[in-house]
């Protein structure tokens, strides 16, 4: 037998709004002023910005409102602050079922962009219930909690505005998935690391320019990935296998990658990398960064030299999506709780298969298809989409003895 619990209706209420210079004990003093009256606290919200406090307390209204007004006004006057008290009906505004988290990221984030995005949300019938800053350095990230607008429609409309305004906007449904353990699957070349490994190898073979041109066309979706990969790998034939060691030493991990993995591993997240590159590189990279799973192509090596062939099936566009599904099943993570990050056309199926597909500094064809885009050069900005603030990241690192650079004063 199941029982449905509904919230009890609330009658007359008093909204107490206190503003002024913040100090310890304000909230306690205001609540203490109404405690003896026997009212019930219906809702409380408080923010502090640059030392200025705004405290809202919603309480049930006694028949004689002066029983609340007098002690609250006396208390607030002693604190040297301001108060307004309004009588009304019911609880805080009921939240419609259609709720979303809208995250704006800019470097910088201009007031004009925030105004335009806010206006578009209103045009969609949405209401911004709460705004919170997620980070101010090295990018500015702001999260808007929105109700009354369908997340899918918001995502479509705000994506167009974001491109015109030069900011990143991510829209996600407000559900439990955002708070649970998730699997993050990343592309490697030009996503987890800077540059393309195959181009670095091709430089040693004297074919850097030709390989770079083919790679770019493949990433834009103009060439079949498997055919283009085999064509490029053939140009590596005869290279001494020791070049792989040299190239690995030249790899530069993208800013924020280690912070992203380190922080989310603390929360139980799982990580995987899926690459159209080569396992001789990606397996070492996974071990170095603490990534749980890795899949890539394997270069054939005979007598210490590259043959110009790959071993086994090529990890192509479809193969990346298949890997994501296999890793999710292996790790016990629902596919809806997966996040995929990529930049090229061969990442499109993987981004579509994930619960959240993120185009990271991606080609236009990828940005157009992904759930959201990030165009800042910091992988750890992805954590702002998950509701994690820069302050929380810094504090967790400090607890482990990791020093984070101090942001400049504004």
How big is the chain by its Cα radius of gyration, in Å? 27
Pairing of strands 356-360, 338-342: parallel
- Annotation says 74 is catalytic: no
Query: Which residue, among 301, 319, 191, 342, has the nearest Cα to 253 in the 3D structure?
Result: 191
Catalytic entry in 187, 316, 347, 380 = 187
- Annotation says 330 is catalytic: no
Query: Distance between CA 182 and CA 339 in Å, rounded?
Result: 7
Give 87-155 as a 3 state SS string.
EEECCCCCCCCCEEEEEEEECCCCHHHHHHHHHHHHHCCCEEEEEEEEECCCCEEEEEEEECCCHHHHH
CB atoms within 10 A of CB 33: 22
Q: Residue 322: CB partners within 8 Å, gap ≥ 6? A: none
The residue written with tokens 């996040």 in the block is 339
Pairing of strands 99-106, 356-360: unpaired
Catalytic entry in 22, 168, 189, 343 = 189
CB 58 within 8 A of CB 41: yes
In three-state secondary structure terms, 78 is helix
CB 42 within 8 A of CB 93: no
Main-chain phi, psi angles of 216, to 5 degrees:
-65, -40
Pairing of strands 41-49, 52-60: antiparallel
CA distances from 406 to 101, 136, 313 (A): 28, 12, 47
Query: Which residue, among 46, 52, 56, 47, has the nearest Cα to 23 in the 3D structure?
Result: 52
Which residues lie across from 140 on neighbouring strands?
106
Which residues are marked as active site?
187, 189
């Amino acid at each position: 037998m199941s029982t449905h619990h509904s919230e009890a209706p609330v009658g007359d209420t008093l909204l107490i709004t206190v503003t002024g210079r913040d100090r310890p004990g304000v909230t306690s003093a205001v609540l203490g002023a109404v405690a003896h009256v026997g009212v019930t606290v219906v809702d409380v919200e408080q923010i502090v910005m640059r030392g200025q406090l705004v405290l809202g307390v919603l309480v049930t209204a006694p028949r004689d409102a002066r029983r609340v007004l007098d002690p609250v006004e006396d208390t607030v006057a002693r604190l040297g602050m301001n108060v307004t008290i309004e009588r009304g009906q019911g609880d805080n505004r009921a939240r419609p079922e259609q709720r979303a988290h809208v995250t704006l990221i800019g470097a910088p984030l201009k007031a004009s962009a925030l105004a335009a995005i806010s206006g578009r949300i209103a045009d969609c019938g949405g209401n911004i219930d709460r705004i919170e800053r997620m980070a101010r350095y090295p990018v500015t990230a702001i999260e808007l909690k929105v109700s009354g607008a369908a997340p899918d429609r918001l995502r479509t409309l705000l994506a167009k505005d974001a491109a015109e305004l030069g900011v990143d906007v991510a829209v996600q449904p407000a559900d439990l998935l955002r708070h649970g353990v998730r699997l993050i699957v990343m592309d490697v070349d030009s996503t987890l690391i800077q540059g393309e490994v195959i181009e670095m190898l091709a430089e040693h073979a004297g074919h850097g320019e030709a390989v770079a041109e083919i790679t770019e066309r493949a990433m834009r979706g103009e060439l079949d990935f498997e055919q283009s990969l085999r064509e490029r790998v053939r140009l590596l034939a005869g290279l001494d296998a020791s070049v792989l060691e040299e190239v690995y030493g030249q790899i530069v991990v993208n800013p924020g990658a280690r912070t992203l993995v380190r922080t989310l591993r603390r929360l139980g997240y799982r990580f995987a990398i899926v690459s159209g590159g080569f396992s001789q590189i990606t397996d070492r990279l996974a071990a170095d960064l603490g990534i749980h799973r890795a899949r890539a192509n394997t270069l054939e090596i005979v007598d210490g030299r590259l043959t110009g062939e790959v071993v086994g099936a090529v990890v192509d566009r479809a193969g990346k999506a298949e890997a994501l599904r296999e890793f999710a099943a292996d790790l016990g993570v629902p596919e809806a709780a997966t996040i995929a990050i990529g930049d090229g056309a061969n990442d499109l199926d993987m981004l579509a298969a994930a619960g959240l597909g993120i185009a990271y500094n991606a080609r236009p064809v990828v940005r157009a298809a992904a759930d959201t885009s990030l165009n800042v050069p910091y992988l750890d900005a992805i954590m702002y989409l998950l509701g994690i603030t820069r302050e929380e990241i810094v504090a967790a690192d400090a607890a482990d003895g990791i020093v984070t650079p101090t942001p400049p004063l504004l």
